[in-house]
């Protein structure tokens, strides 16, 4: 790991903030050591920023915005293109550090960096497509159109489970839109953020980009809360738990700012009797145990038609005890550790509670130990038979617990169960029956931001808008027209006549 850290410019002890190339922080700042979830060993330490540091970063960003917004959008796209190329160069070490710091397996660490590269490519194209519409005015000799202008400072608060990709989804779009960004990564995964800042610094230097266009600030909830309350930050994009989103949403809302909230999910896969189980089963397993169940899109519930329930259950029961659990950097591992001891505790507590409510634990649920797992936070993924209304099933437990739920009757019954939770992120149906699939996608179908047919709930392509409804927060980021939230929209009407006709035929002779 020392090689990887050196290659990425991550020191044994890192500073608290950076406005681009420069790093800073007070000398007596609180320091925290990041421990690897795989074995509990220290990786490196970081300083935590103070609210005064935050103020310095904001002021620098405000200055930078004055010039960055004037750079033509395709030229800003060119900077993002170079950042994408740097990420290509550092994909291997950055993917390894993601894996070491967050605990996801190496393939997923590399996949996360690939997502960053992909969004850079997307943003480069977007930099030439920040289109508005033209409209026909109802008044003679008038022209009417809309345009999108840069918004200002974008605060990015990210969660531990996608420690770097969430930044790129936001920061790359914000950058081509003419905004400057300030990133507060999760306090559980600050090292990958430090690494990203080192990776992009050469691009900033080579292109003489002012300090403050891409800033990061290492800190906890207090820095995120300062950002939420700060009128100088017109848009706060916050990814994390619903608990956090509710607080951020309230504070940003109270000052009538914009909040882009990407919060928890409680994602279900419906399996009807018309499903191809050869693709449904791997989708369920990947969705439930991939990233050790720590994705916002992880599969939490499987809603199975009663005539195939036993078959689906037995096929899952044959796979679960044999899952290769181990060190995330070890080849062949499919399930790595949970992020920390608190996550293990939440896993255990959820299993205790759900059983007290009547749930039947079919397999898994143990906290694992042993020579190869020493110091790490490993658990055996659990399968539990439940009813959808159980309190524990209605909550998102960020761990590999999969709830099996039986339905009888037509697909509408399954859809009703799938929608009967407070969250609305990702959903899917496995069926080869066109009527069932279309019912799932209809206005009366899935109420989630993502609805898939014959694809699991976990993961998404960057080309589509990503996000969910209800307690998932309603925000959309990444592809499609998600860029519009990073800009201010302006309707312009130009009169090139010698008259002053008023709209709606109003006469006002003076
Ligand atoms: P978390 O809510 O504990 O922390 C997320 C971030 O919010 C951290 O940077 C944290 O410092 C900050 N924060 C916490 N309280 C805050 C406050 N009061 N004001 C401002 N900032 C505050 O979440 P986590 O444990 O890091 O991540 C797991 C959660 O994130 C899960 O619920 C998961 O579903 C969700 N998530 C959602 C998406 C999505 O796109 N919908 C993506 C990834 C993760």
Residues 270-307: pLDDT tens digits?
A: 999 999 999 999 999 999 999 999 999 999 999 999 99
Backbone angles phi, psi at 262, to 5 degrees: -125, 95
For 155-211, the pLDDT digits (tens) are 999 999 999 999 999 999 999 999 999 999 999 999 999 999 999 999 999 999 999
Strands 360-363 and 382-385: what pairing? Answer: antiparallel
Mean pLDDT score across all residues of the chain? 97
Outline where DSSP puts E strands in 95-201.
134-135, 142-150, 153-157, 180-184
Query: What structural domains does the chain harbor?
Result: 1-263+473-491 (3.40.605.10), 268-453 (3.40.309.10)
The overall longest dimension of the chain from CA atoms, in Å, is 90
Q: Which token pair is 191?
A: 């090292």
Q: Is the ipTM of this complex over 0.90?
A: yes
The C-alpha atoms of residue 413 and residue 404 are separated, in whole angstroms, by 15
The residues annotated as belonging to the active site are 262
CA-closest candidate to residue 220, choices 177, 286, 160, 263: 160
pLDDT for position 459:
83
Task: Assess contact for 382 and 350: CB atoms under 8 A.
Answer: no
pLDDT for position 389:
98
| pLDDT(400) > 90 | yes
pLDDT for position 171:
98
Write the DSSP symbol of residue 459: -
pLDDT for position 381:
98
pLDDT for position 14:
85
CA of 209 to the centre of ligand 1 (A): 30
DSSP character string of 317-382: HHHGGG--B--TTSTT--B---SSHHHHHHHHHHHHHHHHTT-EEEE--PEE-SGGGTTS-EE--E
Q: Which helix (H) or strand (E) holds 91?
A: helix 91-102
Model confidence band, residue 340 (pLDDT cutoffs 50, 70, 90): very high
Q: What angle do CA 440, 442, 447 make, to 5 degrees?
A: 70
pLDDT for position 13:
82
Q: Which token pair is 385?
A: 């038979």
Enumerate residues 6+ apart whose C-beta is below 8 A from 250: none
CA of 502 to the centre of ligand 1 (A): 49
DSSP character string of 413-433: HHHHHHH-SSEESEEEEE-S-
pLDDT for position 503:
87
Burial 235-248 (b: 16+ CB within 10 A, else e): bbbbbbbbebbebb
Outline where DSSP puts E strands in 27-141.
31-35, 42-47, 134-135
Q: Name the residue at shortest CA distance from atom 13 of ligand 1.
A: 221
The C-alpha atoms of residue 482 and residue 169 are separated, in whole angstroms, by 10
For residues 505 and 412, which has the higher predicted lDDT (pLDDT)? Answer: 412
CA of 197 to the centre of ligand 1 (A): 21
Pick the atom of ligand 1 nearest to 162's CA: 43
How much of the chain exceeds pLDDT 90, in percent? Answer: 96
Residues in the chain: 510
The C-alpha atoms of residue 123 and residue 129 are separated, in whole angstroms, by 9
pLDDT for position 28:
83
Conformation bin of residue 467: beta by default, left when phi > 0, alpha when psi is -120 to 50: left
Q: Helix, strand, or coil here: 478? A: strand
For 441-485, the pLDDT digits (tens) are 999 999 999 999 999 999 899 999 999 999 999 999 999 999 999
| pLDDT(236) > 90 | yes
Pocket of ligand 1 (CB under 6 A): 157-162, 184, 186-187, 220-221, 224-225, 228, 239-241, 244, 247-248, 262-265, 296, 396, 398, 425, 472
Pick the atom of ligand 1 nearest to 425's CA: 41
pLDDT for position 278:
98
Model confidence band, residue 26 (pLDDT cutoffs 50, 70, 90): confident
Model confidence band, residue 12 (pLDDT cutoffs 50, 70, 90): confident
pTM of the model: 0.97
Q: What angle do CA 23, 207, 62 make, to 5 degrees?
A: 55
DSSP character string of 47-63: EPPPHHHHHHHHHHHHH
Strands 401-407 and 299-305: what pairing? Answer: parallel
Strands 487-495 and 477-478: what pairing? Answer: unpaired
The C-alpha atoms of residue 248 and residue 251 are separated, in whole angstroms, by 5
Write the DSSP symbol of residue 234: S
């Amino acid at each position: 790991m020392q090689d990887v850290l050196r290659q990425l410019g991550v020191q044994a002890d890192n500073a608290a903030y950076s406005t681009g190339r420069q790093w800073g922080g007070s000398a007596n700042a609180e320091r925290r050591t990041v421990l690897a979830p795989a074995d509990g060993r220290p990786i490196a330490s970081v300083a935590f920023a103070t609210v005064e540091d935050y103020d310095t970063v904001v002021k620098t960003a405000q200055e930078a915005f004055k010039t960055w917004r004037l750079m033509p959008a395709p030229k800003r796209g060119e900077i993002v293109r170079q950042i994408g190329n740097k990420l290509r160069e550092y994909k291997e070490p950055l993917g390894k550090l993601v894996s070491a710091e967050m605990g996801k397996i190496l393939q997923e660490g590399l996949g996360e960096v690939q997502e960053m590269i992909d969004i850079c490519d997307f943003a480069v194209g977007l930099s030439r497509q920040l289109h508005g519409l033209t409209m026909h005015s109802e008044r003679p000799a008038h022209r009417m159109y809309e345009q999108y202008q840069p918004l200002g400072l974008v605060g990015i608060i990210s969660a531990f489970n996608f420690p770097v990709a969430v930044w790129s989804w936001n920061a790359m779009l914000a950058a081509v839109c003419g905004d400057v960004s300030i990133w507060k990564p999760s306090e559980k995964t600050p090292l990958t953020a430090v690494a990203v800042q080192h990776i992009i610094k050469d691009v900033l230097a080579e292109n003489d980009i002012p300090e403050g266009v891409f800033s990061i600030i290492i800190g906890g909830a207090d820095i995120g809360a300062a950002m939420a309350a700060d009128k100088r930050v017109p848009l706060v994009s916050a990814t994390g738990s619903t608990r956090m989103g509710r607080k951020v949403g309230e504070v940003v809302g109270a000052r009538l700012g914009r909040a882009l909230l990407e919060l928890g999910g409680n994602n279900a896969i419906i399996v009807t009797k018309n499903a191809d189980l050869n693709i449904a089963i791997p989708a369920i397993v990947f969705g439930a145990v991939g990233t050790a169940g720590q994705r916002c899109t992880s599969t939490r519930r499987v809603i199975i038609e009663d005539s195939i329930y036993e078959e689906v259950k037995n096929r899952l029961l044959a796979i679960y005890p044999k899952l290769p659990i181990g060190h995330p950097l070890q080849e062949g591992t499919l399930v790595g550790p949970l992020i920390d001891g608190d996550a293990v505790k939440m896993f255990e507590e959820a299993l205790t509670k759900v059983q007290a409510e009547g749930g039947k634990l079919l397999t898994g649920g143990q906290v694992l130990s042993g020579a190869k797992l020493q110091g790490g936070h490993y658990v055996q993924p659990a399968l539990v038979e439940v009813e959808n209304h159980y309190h524990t099933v209605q909550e998102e437990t960020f761990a590999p617990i999969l709830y099996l739920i039986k339905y009888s009757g037509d697909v509408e019954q399954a859809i009703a169960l799938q929608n009967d939770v407070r969250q609305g992120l990702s959903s899917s149906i496995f069926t080869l029956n066109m009527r069932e699939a279309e019912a799932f996608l209809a206005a009366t179908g899935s109420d989630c931001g993502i609805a898939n047919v014959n694809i699991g709930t976990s993961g998404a392509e960057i080309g589509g808008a990503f996000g969910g409804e209800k307690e998932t927060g309603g925000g959309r980021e990444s592809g499609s027209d998600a860029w519009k939230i990073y800009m201010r929209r302006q309707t312009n009407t130009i009169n090139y006549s010698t008259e002053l006709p008023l709209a709606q035929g109003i006469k006002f002779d003076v």
